[in-house]
Amino acid sequence: MSTESILKVLIMAFAAMFIAAIAWWARKHPNRSKQYPEQVRMPKVVPIIGWLFLIVGLLMSLVSFGYDRSPVGARIAAVAIFLGGLAFVLMYRNFYVAPRDFEVAFRSVFGKEHLLPYSEIAHYSFQAMKGQPYLTVKSAEGVKLSLNIRAYDMTPLLRAIDFHKVTGHWPARTDVTAGGPGAEKYPSGN
């Protein structure tokens, strides 16, 4: 193996370890909104990558569109990188999830607000994608939430799923009265 090949392998291994360290840190420190602490946002690495792509795409666009003999492929790549960075920044800005005792509020990456009471859940499923546990929840009206339950603390929703498995119905505010039996396990309001 040449020195150049070894250097490439070492750089790739370092980059992989760096990305793994960032992912581990992001799981341990959820990104909560400062104004609304119940809302959990995407990890902060998402807008960092987005801004990096925006800057690189802008610089590539300036060079490729400023040079007369620039190939069309370079111009297309520059615009695609810029738009990809813009998509990452907008996804970060739009998305949040706020699990509560009787409902989950969330905003999709496209900016649409949803409030999904647990009593309206028609279907839920757990699946593993790329070694990560994902939960998908669908309401009777077609509202769908799918996310990695290791990256987002969905304890209230998981408790509601356990409640549904045991009782056969979803917890509602009327199931638990203040001070009544079960009030300590499922407190009212959030």
Give me the torsion for CA of 11, 12, 14, 17, rounded to 10°. Answer: 170
For 44-73, the pLDDT digits (tens) are 888 888 999 999 999 999 999 988 888 999
Q: List alpha helices for the chain, DSSP H.
A: 3-28, 45-66, 72-94, 155-167
For 87-132, the pLDDT digits (tens) are 999 999 899 899 988 899 999 888 899 999 998 899 999 998 888 8
Angle at 40 between CA 19 and CA 90, to 5 degrees: 70
Q: Cβ of 142: how many Cβ atoms within 10 Å?
A: 7
Domain regions of the chain by residue span = 31-94, 98-167
The whole-number pLDDT of residue 26 equals 63
The whole-model pTM stands at 0.66
- Thinking of the domain 98-167, which architecture would CATH place it in? Beta Barrel (2.40)
For 4-42, the pLDDT digits (tens) are 888 888 888 888 888 777 667 666 666 666 777 677 888
Locate 189 and state its tokens: 């309001």
